[in-house]
A and B are shown apart, each in its own frame.
Chain A
Amino acid sequence: MKIIYHCYGRAHSSVVASQLHLGNLPMEGSVTKEAIMAIPEFDLAEAADWGEPYLVGRDAADNEVYILGLNSQAPICIRAMLSLAGHLGQADQILLVNTLAAIGLKTRIGGFMSKKLRCNRIGKPLAASGIISSLPRLRQLVGTVQEELIRKVQDGEEEDHCHYRR
């Protein structure tokens, strides 16, 4: 299965969500701003990287975890990705997760300052500080994704068992 965390620029919220998913950031307890800023992909992606899923790693269940920036075109691109996967019979093999809804104004302003105004000395720490504030929501989102993945595996096992019994 491929889990794609997507946001506006692939530089902040999706990066942190993917690190939470992979266990590189804790799902409980406090996280420092420095720890967020030390993530290699944090505040890194540029406009040229939008539209290209970037493989961050594999989780414990061997699911591939990607991050993706879709600019303001997210609804159109998501429809395109899902319909493409559907035509190829692989719609159940990708999970698209919008992380943008989990972050607040501080991260957005930080991201804007860093990426649009090219002022990353102020923008990057501001975005990281915003991420700290939004961490409970990002953790909740990632937790929901992980529960969904477990449920899918269980459903698959039950289905296999039913086939076996028949």
Chain B
Amino acid sequence: MIYHWEGKDAVAPIAAAIHLGYFPPSVKTGKELHFLLRQQLPFRNGVEQREVGTILQLGQGRKGETVFILAVGRKPDLVLKTINKMLPLLDEDPTNYLFINCKAYLNRNNPMEVKARPRLCGWYNAIGQLVDQVQRNL
């Protein structure tokens, strides 16, 4: 399970934290969200340029799936293709790997359109919904 993102913000680290159960799947108030964002979540400010491309293991999910995050920079296609093509060389089955494009999901489900809650909560809850979908399809 590899949550990938550009690497500049905390989208994939938050998705991984929700997946692993460290963070709740949704928040109701801004206060609750700010409390979460104040925690020492690894890579909460994104990663540095020299870490883009490094696959970072963050833990193991409830069904035994290993959760990774991967900063891919602005052009993710070639990096993801290279990883996919390398897997058979390392005797791994690519179908056992799930690549989740956090940015694409958030762009599709634009949290700016969520009017019912403060904007940042909408953004967080969209990540929660993404993780929920991923976990249901496991």
Contact = CB atoms under 8 A, between A and B. Distances in A.
Q: Are A and B physically bound partners?
A: yes
Interface string A103-134: 00000000000000000000000000000000
B90 A80 contact: no
Contact of B82 (A51, A87, A94): A51
B52 interface: yes
B50 to A, nearest CB: 8
B55 interface: yes
A45 to B, nearest CB: 14
Interface string B69-85: 01011010011011101
Contacts of B52: 76, 79
A73 B78 contact: yes
A84 B86 contact: yes
Interface residues of A, number: 25
A52 B92 CA distance: 15
A102 interface: no
Contacts of A87: 55, 57, 68
Contacts of A84: 55, 83, 86-87, 90
Contacts of A66: 89
A73 B86 contact: no
B135 interface: no
B55 A51 contact: no
Interface in B86-131: 86-87, 89-92
Interface in A47-71: 50-53, 66, 68, 70-71
B46 interface: no
Contact of A71 (B56, B78, B85): B78
Contacts of B24: none
B78 A70 contact: yes
B78 A83 contact: no
A31 interface: no
Contacts of A52: 81-82, 85
Contact of A79 (B53, B68, B85): B53
A80 B47 CA distance: 14
Interface in A79-93: 79-81, 83-85, 87-88, 90, 93
A93 to B, nearest CB: 8
Contacts of B81: 50-52
A93 B81 CA distance: 20
A77 interface: yes
Interface of B: 51-57, 68, 70, 72-73, 75, 78-79, 81-83, 85-87, 89-92
Query: Sorted from nearest, which 10 A-B pairs have the closest CB atoms?
Result: A79-B53, A76-B53, A51-B81, A51-B82, A83-B55, A80-B53, A77-B82, A52-B85, A83-B54, A73-B78
9 contacts: A51-B78, A52-B85, A70-B82, A73-B75, A76-B52, A81-B86, A84-B86, A84-B90, A94-B90
